Amino acid sequence: MSVVGLDLGLQNSVIAAAGRGGVDVILNGNSNRLNPTMVNFDESRKMGEQVSGSTPVSKFKTTIKYMKRLVGLAFDDPRAKKEMEKVPYQCVPITHASGGPPSIAVKVFFNGEDKILPVEQVLGMMVHHMGMVAAKKAAEESGIRGADNIKKLIPQDWVIAIPPYYTDAQRRAVLSGCEIVGITGVQRLMHENTATALAYGIFKDIRKEFTKENPTNVMFIDMGASAYTVTIAVFEPGKLIIKSANFDEDLGGRDFDQAIANWLADKFSEKFKNKLSGDPKTKPKVMLKLLDAAEKAKKTLSPQGVKEASINLECLMDDLDFNVMLSSSEYEALCTPLLAKLEGPVQKCLEEAKLTSKDLAAVEIVGGSTRIGFVKKKLMEILNVNNLSTTMNADESVARGAALQSA
């Protein structure tokens, strides 16, 4: 297996390999390109798409997600505290023989016993799972059989993409998580935004689309599940320079889901105020069901022109069903505070690069949350442009760039 590039997203992980013919995203056993970044500990351990259907809701105490935002942080770090409030499983401090502040571990009931696992180890398990996705695909293509033989096909060399806001401790924790599970060939950790810029420019460069006289300035806007990053890259023949990068670590698709879920919880409480045994917002399973429904409604309302989404939840709480319509205007109003956060990183990036939006050859949007219609509209207003470019695959640009870096 050649060198692989891995995008370990908060919600979705993607693995790609670069070869002579270009770069390919490796499909998992269900022929899907995106793999949910989660690990479920039960009688057996399941990862990615093996964690199926309602499991993340019904087994929320043993389904670990959001590792990306916990790894490498001290237990007492305010960022960790904020993140731990968002997860429905139990986090505990873990001390190290080498000293230093306690870091974060998760407490799960697995194989009939309580287990405390450092969060970097759980992250490592997800990396290993992605290695198995690649190994199984390689085995299928070459007719190799048998679990031990397939394991031998786990890639030896990796480039793993990390967010630009990671500290040294977070970078080290990613590497240590990989080592714990036997992934020792990580050649490089690469910033996600640099990976996207590389994926954009490398083939254009080969086709000689860049000139030294007129360097090409491109803004990349990435909004995934948890973070928003704006980057300006300048392309010249054989050269990619990151001129500026700014981010908001707390702006992503999950914040839009949360805004809708809170609205749903309030509507539900209002409708059934005399029948409820408690506040739905204090019940993890109810909130997870609402977040799931909120994400579906959000996706329904993304394309411009869709006026409303129907939300139907059976037995949401106390055996009560809940059916409600969310209009696009109500949804946009709920998200106004989130939209207000889009401008800062864009303006800072332009200032730091000493450019205006007129100097940009393109504004490329990537990341699942840039599909939200009013996010695109707001970005166009901020930049005073008539369109945003979507020439890159919004879900795959990071993995592709990481794979290309390794080629």
Positions in the binding site for ligand ATP (CB under 6 A): 9-12, 68, 224-227, 252-254, 295, 298-299, 302, 367-369, 371-372, 395
Q: How far is the CB of 34 from ligand ATP (least distance, A)?
A: 7
d(CA 202, CA 405) in angstroms, rounded, equals 10
Provide the 3-class DSSP secondary structure of residue 263: helix
Q: How far is the CB of 294 from ligand ATP (least distance, A)?
A: 9
The H or E element spanning position 383 is: helix 373-383
Contact between residue 311 and residue 289 where contact means Cβ atoms under 8 Å apart: no
Identity of the residue, 105 or 221, whose beta carbon is nearer to ligand ATP in the bound complex: 221
Q: How far is the CB of 406 from ligand ATP (least distance, A)?
A: 19
Question: Which residue type sits at 381?
Answer: E
Question: 324: which DSSP letter?
Answer: E
Identity of the residue, 35 or 217, whose beta carbon is nearer to ligand ATP in the bound complex: 35
Identity of the residue, 138 or 159, whose beta carbon is nearer to ligand ATP in the bound complex: 159
d(CA 256, CA 254) in angstroms, rounded, equals 5
Contact between residue 66 and residue 38 where contact means Cβ atoms under 8 Å apart: no
d(CA 125, CA 341) in angstroms, rounded, equals 34
Identity of the residue, 72 or 252, whose beta carbon is nearer to ligand ATP in the bound complex: 252
* DSSP code string of 266-313: HHHHHHTTTT-SS-GGG-HHHHHHHHHHHHHHHHHH-STT--EEEEEE
Q: How far is the CB of 385 from ligand ATP (least distance, A)?
A: 21
Q: How far is the CB of 296 from ligand ATP (least distance, A)?
A: 9
Identity of the residue, 205 or 248, whose beta carbon is nearer to ligand ATP in the bound complex: 248
Identity of the residue, 120 or 395, whose beta carbon is nearer to ligand ATP in the bound complex: 395
Identity of the residue, 63 or 226, whose beta carbon is nearer to ligand ATP in the bound complex: 226
Q: How far is the CB of 144 from ligand ATP (least distance, A)?
A: 31
Q: How far is the CB of 161 from ligand ATP (least distance, A)?
A: 9
| Sheet order of strands, 216-223 included | 239-248, 228-236, 216-223, 362-366
Identity of the residue, 227 or 326, whose beta carbon is nearer to ligand ATP in the bound complex: 227
Q: How far is the CB of 224 from ligand ATP (least distance, A)?
A: 2
Identity of the residue, 120 or 295, whose beta carbon is nearer to ligand ATP in the bound complex: 295
Question: Which residue type sits at 212?
Answer: K
Contact between residue 149 and residue 132 where contact means Cβ atoms under 8 Å apart: no
Q: How far is the CB of 137 from ligand ATP (least distance, A)?
A: 20
Contacts 24+ apart (CB under 8 A), 289-294: 289/57, 289/313, 289/316, 290/261, 290/264, 290/265, 290/316, 291/254, 291/257, 291/258, 291/261, 292/57, 293/261, 293/264, 294/256, 294/257, 294/258, 294/259, 294/260, 294/261, 294/264
